[in-house]
Structures are given as C-alpha cells and as structure tokens.
C-alpha cells in the first residue's frame, strides 16, 4: 500500500471519529445548527472514502500472487503464520475441487445416459433459439481448435440430427483417439482410447460407452473426465472447450514424457498419465503433487 493511501486512511479514521464524538456527545446548543455541523462532518467522511477509492484504483503495485508470496516477509508477528495457512487452504481447495470432479464424473455419466437416449429417440420438446444457434457456434469452435493444433484432428457429427447433442471424434498424432459428447456447448462425457483401437461399434455407431483395452488409456479417460469438469465454465464455454482441447493435446508426448516428480518414463509399467491442470506438466498417478 502506498504512503498516500495510508495517509488517506488516517484522514478517514479522524473524520469518522469526529462524527462519532459529536453524536456521542448528544445535541449541544441549537438543534438545527448541531445537525448542520454533523452533516458537514459526514460529508467529509464520504469525501475521504472517495479519495481512498480513487487512490486504490490507481494503485499499480504488485499483483495479488506476488503479495501472497511476500507475506512471510512481513515483519509483524501476527502475519507469520498466514503464508502457511494460505498455502494449506489452497491445497485443500485443490483437493476439494478434485474430489468434487470425480464425484460429478459419475453423476454426469448417469444424467448423460438418460439425456442422450431420450434426445435421440424422441424430439417432443420444442427447440429454443439457443439450441438452434448452438450447433453452428460449436461447429465454429471445433473448426478453431482444428486450426490451433496441426497434429490433432476433430470431426463433429450429430447422430439422429439432434440439435442439442453432438459427438466429436478426436485423433491425436498416432497416440490416441477420443470421443467427446457435447450437450450444447458443454462437454458431458469423454472416452479416450489407443490409436489402434476402434471408436466405432460393429454397427457403425460411435461407441461412447466402451472403454479402452489398455490401462494407460483407461487412466487417461478418468483423468480427462476430471479435467473436463475442472475446465467446465457455463459462463465461458468457449474458453472451457479450448482449455480442455489444449489439455487433451498435451498427451501428444505421452510416450516420450518424463514424470516431473521422479524423472522416469515408466512407473508401474505406465507412462505419466496425469497432467497438472494449470501447467499441463506430466506426472505418474503415484507421483502427483
Ligand atoms: Zn513419476
């Protein structure tokens, strides 16, 4: 905080004290005069608050993250424990997020089963504008992702011409294939398989429930569903889709990545199948931070 703001806060404290003193002292002399005086003092208080607001909005100091980083350098005794407390809370929050993600993955699986079959079989519900607008919007988004990554190809289809649901098949550079189920602009379900595995069932339909034969892709399927929930944002669906696709694309180095924790390619015969959501750094399941 700058010297100016500290000075302004002092002024505010002083003017507020004057108001309380005056009120605490009760009406003295002529009532009308006393009230005018009080009003003036209160105007000073609001002026002081405005000054602080202006000063604070111009304040161009270090960002929040840096300030948190500097907390343990604060010389006052009460703040010594703050940094540890804050990092502990952050870790808790991350864990909660993760568990909620896993729980929601199961739940979203169930709702999907219901919504997917009901939408495909019956189209009794009248279509609203947003549903009609969304297919084109999603098409454009998927086009955009195709341009973002040369080695990842996405193909979108809408079985039964449903306007609400879409299936996106992903092929990532001879490493993996994936099926994503969209409801509107939200990803509802993800299945990841090996490059040589089939995404289609024998009847030519996309196999959205069949899991990979390989443990490595079963793990990635689980993690990708958690990632999908992590990135999900009803407010910024475009950003959520792009973030998730960037996450999925990070598996293009799956078989050459070394784990950030132990530095090895393989652990329990598996490559690093976990990606840290923010940095996309690779970790083995057991080496996760
Ligand atoms: Zn490891």
Q: How far is the CA of 242 from the centre of ligand 1 (A)?
A: 27
Residue 277: strand, helix, or coil: coil
pLDDT computed for residue 197 by the predictor: 93
Q: Are 148 and 53 found together in one domain?
A: no
Question: What pLDDT, on a 0 to 100 scale, did the predictor assign at position 74?
Answer: 63
Residues 46 and 53: their CA atoms lie apart, in Å, by: 11
- Written as one string, the DSSP assignment of 203-259 is TSSB-SSPPPSSHHHHHHHHHHHHHHHHH--SS-HHHHHHHHHHHHHGGGGTTTPPP
Query: Is 138 part of a structural domain of the chain?
Result: yes
| Claim to verify: residue 111 and residue 238 sit in the same structural domain | yes
Taking CA atoms, 77 is separated from 22, 74, 80, 164, 268, in Å, by 36, 8, 5, 58, 47
Query: How remote is the CA of residue 133 from the centroid of ligand 1, in Å?
Result: 45
What per-residue confidence (pLDDT) applies to 154?
97
pLDDT at 181: 92
- Residues 239, 99 share a domain: yes
| Residues 112 and 250 both lie in one domain | yes
**Rounded distance, CA 187 to CA 206, Å?**
16
Q: How far is the CA of 128 from the centre of ligand 1 (A)?
A: 49
User: How many angstroms separate the alpha carbon of residue 275 from the centre of ligand 1?
Assistant: 12
- Nearest Cα to Cα of residue 195 among 251, 265, 257, 270: 251
- Determine the pLDDT at residue 73: 64
- Are 105 and 38 in the same domain? no
111 and 223 part of one domain: yes
| Structural domain of 137 | 95-118+129-254
How confident is the model at residue 119, as a pLDDT? 45
Q: Is the pTM of this model over 0.85?
A: no
So what's the pLDDT on residue 1?
Answer: 57
User: How many domains is the chain partitioned into structurally?
Assistant: 2
pLDDT of residue 195: 94
pLDDT mean by block of 10 residues, the chain; 289 residues: 81 90 83 87 90 79 55 67 80 84 71 46 45 79 95 92 86 95 91 92 79 95 95 88 96 96 95 95 94
């Amino acid at each position: 905080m700058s010297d100016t703001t500290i000075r302004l806060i002092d002024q505010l404290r002083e003017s507020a004290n004057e108001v309380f003193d005056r009120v605490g002292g009760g009406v003295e002399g002529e009532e009308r005069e006393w009230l005018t005086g009080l009003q003036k003092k209160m105007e000073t208080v609001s002026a002081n608050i405005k000054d602080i607001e202006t000063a604070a909005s111009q304040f161009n100091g270090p960002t929040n993250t840096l300030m948190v980083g500097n907390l343990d350098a604060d010389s006052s005794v009460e703040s010594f424990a703050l940094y540890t407390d804050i990092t502990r809370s952050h870790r808790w929050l991350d864990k909660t997020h993760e568990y909620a993600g896993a729980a929601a993955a199961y739940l979203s699986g169930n709702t999907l089963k219901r919504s997917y079959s009901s939408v495909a079989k019956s189209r009794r519900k009248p279509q609203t504008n947003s549903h009609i607008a969304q297919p084109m919007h999603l098409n454009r988004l998927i086009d955009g992702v195709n341009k973002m990554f040369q080695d990842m190809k996405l193909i979108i289809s809408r079985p039964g011409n449903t306007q609400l649901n879409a299936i996106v098949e992903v092929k990532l550079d001879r490493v993996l294939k994936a099926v994503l189920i969209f409801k509107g602009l939200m990803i509802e379900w993800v299945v990841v398989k090996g490059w040589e595995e089939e995404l289609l069932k024998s009847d030519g339909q996309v196999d959205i429930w069949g899991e990979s034969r390989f443990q490595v892709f079963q793990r990635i399927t689980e993690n990708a569903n958690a990632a999908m929930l992590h990135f999900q944002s009803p407010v910024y669906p475009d950003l959520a889709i792009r973030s998730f696709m960037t996450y999925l694309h990070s598996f293009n180095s799956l078989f050459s990545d070394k784990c950030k924790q132990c530095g090895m390619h393989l652990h329990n015969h598996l490559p690093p199948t976990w990606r840290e959501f923010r940095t996309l750094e690779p970790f083995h399941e057991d080496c996760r931070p």
